[in-house]
Amino acid sequence: MKFVLFYHSFVSCWNHGNAHFLRGIARELIKRGHSVSVWEPEDGWSRTNALRDGGAAALAEAARLVPGVTLQTYRGDGPELDHALDRADVVMVHEWNTPGLVAGIGQRRLQGARFTLFFHDTHHRAVTASHEIERLDLDGYDGVLAFGEILREVYARRGWGEHAFTWHEAADTALFHPIPETPKSTDLVWIGNWGDEERTHELEQFLIKPVAKLGIAARVYGVRYPDSARNALARAGVHYRGWLPNHLAPDAFAQAKATIHVPRRPYVETMPGIPTIRVFEALACGIPLISAPWRDIEGLFPAGAYLSVRDTLETALALRRILNDAAFARELAATGLRAIEARHTCAMRVDELISIIESINCPTAARSAMHTHDSVLAS
């Protein structure tokens, strides 16, 4: 099949964590013999900032990460759709596209185009800024792919019913895997963006204060850090390293003895059950993970995949245990890695996507196959 994907960016991960998942999905589709074409705006904010921070070389390196993918850019509101959609079998449109492009692709489907059309939502705006999503014209779309069950329920209540699907993010294990030969050069690494005051207090409580309390070596990578944040990191003895292109994250994880998951507040308060992509990435890299509070209401990860903490003191105690008990740290990392390998790889998400496509295009056959699959699992 020919997959045509309209996303904010494929080559730039600057403040754009979905790039990791998108690359992994494209890689798996190509591996199975499908063709993948990706369209992104030439002047998108992620691309523009990546060029500023890393130069053209950073984007060129990222563009080579998935051999076989066709990457195309456009200016203005979108590409010429007759050309972009030519011979498409499956079209996926990310929620960060302009309303005009979202509507235009839907209109092509309403006019008789034969591709299967999905809207892909990987953000909390449907709950926290619902007016931004409600203004998008999704007439003509065959289904919604939501990156968490609670988000799927939002779309189901808006009339999508059985055509709203939960499709979690996952790890691109071709890139994100343990690198055991890399020597440890720091105690803790945190990779994430400051941004929007959505976790300022949480970063102070679960990152800055525990590091200062223990006096350990720590590194932070990310963007959109104001001077106040950089100063706070410096006072705690944390080395701020700026933007790290996402495909270099596995090496940064390999150099550290532990990492921390600090979710943004909207996901904790209004959209529980949705972890950040960093959880999948870190566990796939085999690094012990400590997590600030979030509710895994879908049971994505088994007990022992990471350490849950509630405050600064518990974070410091968890860090101390990992740093001082090598056997415990190895088992924690191994449990997390097994969880990714068993449940959360991009290969598995492609399996899910193909099943979703079949459920839309051949609903009777798909239901029969799903019943057979459930029976096998139950036996």
Kindly report whether the global pTM for this prediction surpasses the value 0.95: no
Of 298, 301, 295, nearest in space to 335 by CA: 301
Identity at 33, one-letter amino acid code: G
DSSP per residue, 301-362: S-TTSSEE--SHHHHHHHHHHHHH-HHHHHHHHHHHHHHHHHH-BHHHHHHHHHHHHHHHHS
**What does the pLDDT read at residue 363?**
66
Identity at 334, one-letter amino acid code: A
Identity at 353, one-letter amino acid code: L
Q: Which two tokens stand for residue 20?
A: 């990791």
**What does the pLDDT read at residue 272?**
85
Q: Where are the alpha helices (DSSP H) in the chain?
A: 18-31, 45-63, 81-84, 99-110, 125-128, 130-134, 149-155, 200-203, 209-214, 227-235, 249-254, 265-269, 277-284, 312-324, 326-343, 346-361, 363-378
The C-alpha atoms of residue 207 and residue 249 are separated, in whole angstroms, by 18
3-state secondary structure of 98: coil
**What does the pLDDT read at residue 364?**
55
**Average pLDDT for runs of 10 along the chain of length 379:** 97 94 98 98 95 92 96 94 98 94 97 97 79 86 96 92 96 98 98 83 96 98 94 97 96 98 85 91 98 95 97 98 98 98 98 97 56 39
**What does the pLDDT read at residue 114?**
96
The C-alpha atoms of residue 105 and residue 78 are separated, in whole angstroms, by 10
The C-alpha atoms of residue 31 and residue 340 are separated, in whole angstroms, by 20
235: Cα separation from own chain's centroid = 31
**What does the pLDDT read at residue 376?**
34
